[in-house]
Structure 1
Amino acid sequence: MPDNFDFPVIDVSIVTFNSERWIASFWRSLTTQRYPLDKISLLVRDNGSQDGTVNALRALIAEDGHRFAAVSVDAGENVGFGRGHNANIARGNAAFCLVTNVDLTFDSQGIENVVRTATTDDDRVAAWEFRQKPYEHPKCYDPVTLEVNWASSACVLFRRSAFEHVGGYEPRLFLYGEDVELSYRLRDHGYMLRYCVDAVCWHYTYETANELKPAQFFGSTLANVLLRLRYGTRPEVLAGLSMYLGLFLIPTPVPGRLKGLLAGLRKIARDGWYFLRTRKKSDIRFGFRGWDYEQSREGAFVEFGELPADAPLVSIIVRTCAGRVGKLQEAVRSVLHQTYPNIELVVVEDGSTQAQAFVSEVAASGSLAAVQYHPIAKAGRCVAGNVGLAAAKGVYACFLDDDDLLYADHIEVLAPRLAKRPDLAGIYSLAFQIDTEVISHDPWRYRDVGRYVAVREPFSRAAIWHHNLMPIQAILFRRDLFDRFGGFDVELDRLEDWDLWVRYCQKESYELIERVTSAYRVPARNDHASARLKELDDYYQKALRARDRMVVEMTPNEVIAYATELAKIMYPVAISRSRLRAIAARVPGIWTVRRLYLGGRGLAVRVKRKLANGRVRS
């Protein structure tokens, strides 16, 4: 980014309520920002705190207030989160308004990064959401454009003109859900929302992983029903009301459950008609998924830490060919959004140079540690992959097919874990399978039909000998495995990655991290999907035959252990003969039946022998 950036004045809106324990650390992170404080206008509203919040704020303002462009403090009754920020923003006039909680701290470049992004973004973008650590919000976003369906207001920058155009936060939502409602209303008016992965805050919203907070339980369930009334279809509205009534029958471990639910029911009766009268104007289909608003990326409580300054180089190898530049551009943009700081991109183009200009632009941008481009004579996917592996300079490497995508945290999730586990060959994570309806390949136009986790299996050497456990883009592995065991088998044009993973785990194992960090595409059309499956079935036999060249030394006990392990994976309800005998032994009268059966069987054998000897005549 240019060093002569003209920092605009921004408003920072803070609403506090019994927040004394957070104030000092929040203030310290704010006053140590790289963003100049004389370009920040601070707007504070206290919602009737009963602790020392206001006194702590006034003491800090007395010490540092002169460093800000302006400071305005208001205190009064508890009017709720949204109304508090509405009041703050109404007192300001900057083009951009940062809404933030105080139970968080900013990375030193957090505010600078989000403002730089906002000032260069499209005028249609209304909000830029910060990335939260140590637990990143698990909602989905577009890995290519970073567009989101809704933006969390724990820390988000708004374009003032858009915020004022739609009327700010919904005042009838006291706490929880107001950020989703405002996001939906902005989109209903034609605005877009963006996830700013480079703007990081450390949000300490949970004391422990999977914590269930009463205020969140009551506020979010109420808001979900009211939002359905404004933005949902008729079936979604009815489903929301049914779900809420169903909460009375579910013994959820929340203090004051019945009292809180009854209070929510009264608010639904009071405000429901208002939300129905102010229904959406556009034909946008807004998301409702149970008590969530969209599909989540699994792994919400995978914890992120600080990345080391000397993070090892990771090489991302992308294979492409003619007619796929549009797909390549999307894949590479998902690489450019990676939050890991030390990445090398290696693009190998098989039988063409169509991608050269685009890769040169990426290299010139300076966004990555290194960029390599290798055009080769037409030789196939496996040769292209081996060229990429040979050229890669990273300590770790991964593949990204040109029609697959990485979420921004993919390398950050995998690389630190692999660095801590020198005994592993690689680390892999969960991935979305996206059923894709292709409209045209060149230009690349498509429609995503479905998205789900299709493969979920912890590592087992016995299992990976039998079937593949991970999509190709989901695994990060040690680059020196290529030197030890070679690259792709050039005889395999499909399932070449499975064959590679089998060879790479001869000495070390892999580990699964249960977080969705990538996505791969498959055909949505049944005929295309069937043809793809048949092709993979054909190559499955070829891959098995290629395995004949591998020799594995095992003891008899290890063979039995592997066979038992595979049987448990493949046949989870299988029961061994010894187990059946043990069960049978506990059944009353089973031995009497057994003796009768064996006695009858013995008589039949004796009669058969006599017939054979001619001693019994018919």
Structure 2
Amino acid sequence: MFDVYFFESAKLSELNVQRSESEYFLFCVRGMRLAENALDAAERFIEQHGKVAAMLFRELSNDSFWTYDPCTLELWLPRAFCPCFAVKQQLYWEAGGINTDSSYFFGIDLLMTIGRLGGKLVYVPSVGYWNMEKANLEFQKGKDWGKLYFAAIFGTKEEFLQRKKSFPSKECTDAQLLKKTKKNRKYWIAKQPAAQLWNLREEPPKKREVVISDRDFTKIQFSILIRTFQRPEVLKKSLECLRWQTYSGFEVIVVEDGAEPNAKKVCDEAGKWFPLIYKCVGEHVGRSAVGNLAMSLARNEYFLFLDDDDYYLANHLELLAHALAMNKSCRMAAAGSIELVGKQACDGNFKLWQTICHPGKGASLEDLCMGNPFPIQAVAFHKSLVQTCGGLDIELDALEDWDLWVRFARHSTITAVQQKTSMFKVPLEAEKRLSRSEAMLQARNMLLKKWEMISVESTAARFLETQWSLEEGEKETELYRQIRDQRLAVQAICASRRWRSTNFIRRSVAFLAAKVNSFSDVMNGWRDSIGPLRPEEEEMDRNILAQFINGTQNSWCWKLTNWWKKFS
């Protein structure tokens, strides 16, 4: 099924790819070593998943982060440098084969072209390779070239020229690269969420000290606890992401809040993939009570929560199991996560608008008392902590996980998994964000009263730092939150159908106002009534954002399209 080719990125002209009867070509940079039975695992994946255009494999050396749909494994965007991947032979030739002018960005250029031609790019976490020459300068140079390629497709001219400064002009001129990426740029710049992920900043993960194949941690068994309420289509997506976990030692407990078993059919289908227990409460009892019921049904020693609209990436359970096995004194482990800001549809689809990275880190009791650094799906904990400290507080309908972590931290340290292995959603709509903030504020006040009896050991310097954060820093934190909410509100307005449909009117009036000086007062009056243009990123302070939001919502263009509100 596979023809394997090893190549050096600077010597593509020496790579002699021949037409053959094999269905796929597998390309691997010299210095990479395929994991044991990798080709067999790839063939099994094709049998389960169906024929795909290209497969990108997992680097086991440090388990780097990939941007892909955790439910389908379809790549949102390939990585800047792809040292090991397979492409379907038919699409390889349709994409034009090897372009020796591509030099270091041969892999990314080929994959982006195949994606533009309609091919499905898929991440395959069950097939891995080892990078045996991590410090190789050629390898790093390939990454730099890939980032330059991304800047040519997604970035502004200034961003491209900034990255281009570090490259010798003889190797690639601006005109050559921009001309080469023209067709791919037109396709990928409109593809969501690729355009938002190309420049995603993240800290490089630490190199693994123990290889994946040394599975001393397979004795650790997880129970994944899912609470759901009247949205089976959303739950279905979360269950699908568990299908691709690289660690098989888990069961799933789904408890549905409410009288009707709406999620039973979805759970019966998912039960074909992994052990699953479904329970419908029969009445509406609240999030915390449902979580406690799920813990009482769990049979394994370690528990994890997964909200019905959140996702685990494929390596989530494996890396948590590895961390817990390597730190046996810890009964809690927390991994990094990615915050997805966008709009959730009733059919389960999610329209992404912004991503925010939260690297994994440990936390002391002091740290937890000052704030909750962990979303609920990022933490695994031993069931003995529940037996010692109790479960979720049924009086809390928000921040119940924060209260749980504080109680657990009094009896166990928390080990960290630096990699980002899960995703959680935050609403973009202003009304939902306001409702969410009010619920959290109410819960926070309840927690302050509840935690009055908890004593925290610390130094004088630590207490001074805490005091500053509560008195002085709280003002800055609140200001930051206000600006962030205003920015999201501006983004929501500019993404709406009401704004886009009337934007040409605003631009036309602004153009005329700039050209016709003699009637500037009249034109400026028209412009104010029509609504302001979107402010530039560097001008987005709190006052300008507020003026834009108020000016837009009071303009006749916005009021005229009010009947489109439900479609925005």
- In structure 2, relative to structure 1, the CA distance for the partners of 1:182 and 1:294 (3 Å cut) is farther
2:354 to 450, 455, 459: 450
Residue 130 of structure 1 aligns with an amino acid whose one-letter code is F
Deviation at 1:94, TM superposition (A): 1.3
1:314 aligns with 2:219: no
Deviations 1:321-376 (A, max 9, x none): 22x112111111222222223111111111231222222222223xx3x3221221
1:397 aligns with 2:389: no
Q: Is the 8 A contact 1:146 1:194 kept in 2?
A: yes
Residue 395 of structure 2 aligns with an amino acid whose one-letter code is E
- Tell me how far apart the structure 2 counterparts of residues 236 and 287 of structure 1 sit (CA, whole Å): 17
1:13 aligns with 2:1: no
Residue 21 of structure 2 aligns with an amino acid whose one-letter code is N
Show the counterpart of 1:180.
108
Show the counterpart of 2:162.
242
- Tell me how far apart the structure 2 counterparts of residues 317 and 284 of structure 1 sit (CA, whole Å): 38
Deviations 1:147-197 (A, max 9, x none): 11226542222111111111123321223x221111111111111200011
1:420 to 322, 326, 330: 326
1:137 to 64, 74, 78: 64
Show the counterpart of 1:267.
172
Deviation at 1:492, TM superposition (A): 0.8
- Tell me how far apart the structure 2 counterparts of residues 164 and 527 of structure 1 sit (CA, whole Å): 51
Query: 5 Å matches for 1:336-351?
Result: 336-351=243-258
Deviations 1:80-103 (A, max 9, x none): 454444x22x24231122222342
- Tell me how far apart the structure 1 counterparts of residues 298 and 286 of structure 2 sit (CA, whole Å): 19
- In structure 2, relative to structure 1, the CA distance for the partners of 1:287 and 1:374 (3 Å cut) is closer
Deviation at 1:214, TM superposition (A): 3.8
Show the counterpart of 2:371.
467
- After alignment, is 536-545 or 214-223 more displaced? 214-223
2:398 to 469, 489, 494: 494
- After alignment, is 498-507 or 198-207 more displaced? 198-207
Show the counterpart of 2:132.
204
1:166 aligns with 2:66: no
Identify unmatched segments of 5+ residues in structure 2: 475-568
- Tell me how far apart the structure 2 counterparts of residues 227 and 432 of structure 1 sit (CA, whole Å): 21
- Tell me how far apart the structure 1 counterparts of residues 330 and 324 of structure 2 sit (CA, whole Å): 7
2:120 to 179, 186, 192: 192
Deviations 1:227-263 (A, max 9, x none): 655x34xx62442123322x3xxxxxxxxxxxxx43x
- Tell me how far apart the structure 2 counterparts of residues 455 and 300 of structure 1 sit (CA, whole Å): 9
Residue 300 of structure 1 aligns with an amino acid whose one-letter code is P
SS in 1 for 2:393: coil
Deviations 1:517-576 (A, max 9, x none): 11111111223212211111011111222335x555x7xx758576356347768999xx
Deviations 1:365-406 (A, max 9, x none): 3xx3x3221221221111111111112122211101011111
Deviation at 1:314, TM superposition (A): 1.0
Residue 2 of structure 2 aligns with an amino acid whose one-letter code is I
- Tell me how far apart the structure 2 counterparts of residues 536 and 214 of structure 1 sit (CA, whole Å): 49
Deviation at 1:435, TM superposition (A): 0.7
Show the counterpart of 1:406.
312
Q: How many residues align?
A: 466
Query: 5 Å matches for 1:120-131?
Result: 120-123=48-51, 125-131=52-58
Deviation at 1:216, TM superposition (A): 4.3
Q: Which has the larger radius of gyration?
A: 1
Show the counterpart of 1:512.
416
Q: Is the 8 A contact 1:114 1:157 kept in 2?
A: no
Deviation at 1:497, TM superposition (A): 0.8
- After alignment, is 351-360 or 454-463 more displaced? 454-463
- In structure 2, relative to structure 1, the CA distance for the partners of 1:486 and 1:532 (3 Å cut) is same
Q: Is the 8 A contact 2:304 2:380 kept in 1?
A: yes
Q: Is the 8 A contact 2:336 2:360 kept in 1?
A: yes
Residue 319 of structure 1 aligns with an amino acid whose one-letter code is R
- Tell me how far apart the structure 2 counterparts of residues 295 and 558 of structure 1 sit (CA, whole Å): 36
- Tell me how far apart the structure 2 counterparts of residues 227 and 454 of structure 1 sit (CA, whole Å): 23
Show the counterpart of 1:482.
386
Residue 115 of structure 2 aligns with an amino acid whose one-letter code is R
- In structure 2, relative to structure 1, the CA distance for the partners of 1:135 and 1:562 (3 Å cut) is same
- In structure 2, relative to structure 1, the CA distance for the partners of 1:512 and 1:280 (3 Å cut) is closer
- Tell me how far apart the structure 1 counterparts of residues 471 and 395 of structure 2 sit (CA, whole Å): 32
SS in 2 for 1:196: strand
Q: Is the 8 A contact 1:430 1:515 kept in 2?
A: yes
SS in 2 for 1:305: coil
- After alignment, is 147-156 or 294-303 more displaced? 294-303
SS in 1 for 2:156: helix
RMSD over equivalenced CA pairs, Å: 3.2
Deviation at 1:283, TM superposition (A): 6.2
Q: Is the 8 A contact 1:143 1:407 kept in 2?
A: yes
- In structure 2, relative to structure 1, the CA distance for the partners of 1:267 and 1:498 (3 Å cut) is closer
- Tell me how far apart the structure 2 counterparts of residues 522 and 96 of structure 1 sit (CA, whole Å): 40
SS in 2 for 1:424: coil
Residue 459 of structure 1 aligns with an amino acid whose one-letter code is A
Deviation at 1:469, TM superposition (A): 2.2
- In structure 2, relative to structure 1, the CA distance for the partners of 1:201 and 1:488 (3 Å cut) is same
2:234 to 307, 327, 343: 327
- In structure 2, relative to structure 1, the CA distance for the partners of 1:448 and 1:173 (3 Å cut) is same
Residue 393 of structure 1 aligns with an amino acid whose one-letter code is R
- In structure 2, relative to structure 1, the CA distance for the partners of 1:286 and 1:225 (3 Å cut) is farther
- In structure 2, relative to structure 1, the CA distance for the partners of 1:144 and 1:572 (3 Å cut) is farther
Higher helix share: 2
SS in 2 for 1:13: strand
SS in 2 for 1:198: strand
Identify unmatched segments of 5+ residues in structure 1: 1-8, 18-78, 208-212, 248-260, 575-618
- Tell me how far apart the structure 1 counterparts of residues 68 and 121 of structure 2 sit (CA, whole Å): 10
- Tell me how far apart the structure 2 counterparts of residues 143 and 456 of structure 1 sit (CA, whole Å): 19
- Tell me how far apart the structure 1 counterparts of residues 251 and 323 of structure 2 sit (CA, whole Å): 19
Q: Is the 8 A contact 2:385 2:411 kept in 1?
A: no
Show the counterpart of 1:215.
138
- Tell me how far apart the structure 2 counterparts of residues 298 and 396 of structure 1 sit (CA, whole Å): 28
- In structure 2, relative to structure 1, the CA distance for the partners of 1:226 and 1:461 (3 Å cut) is closer
Q: Is the 8 A contact 1:139 1:295 kept in 2?
A: no
SS in 1 for 2:309: coil
- In structure 2, relative to structure 1, the CA distance for the partners of 1:476 and 1:224 (3 Å cut) is closer
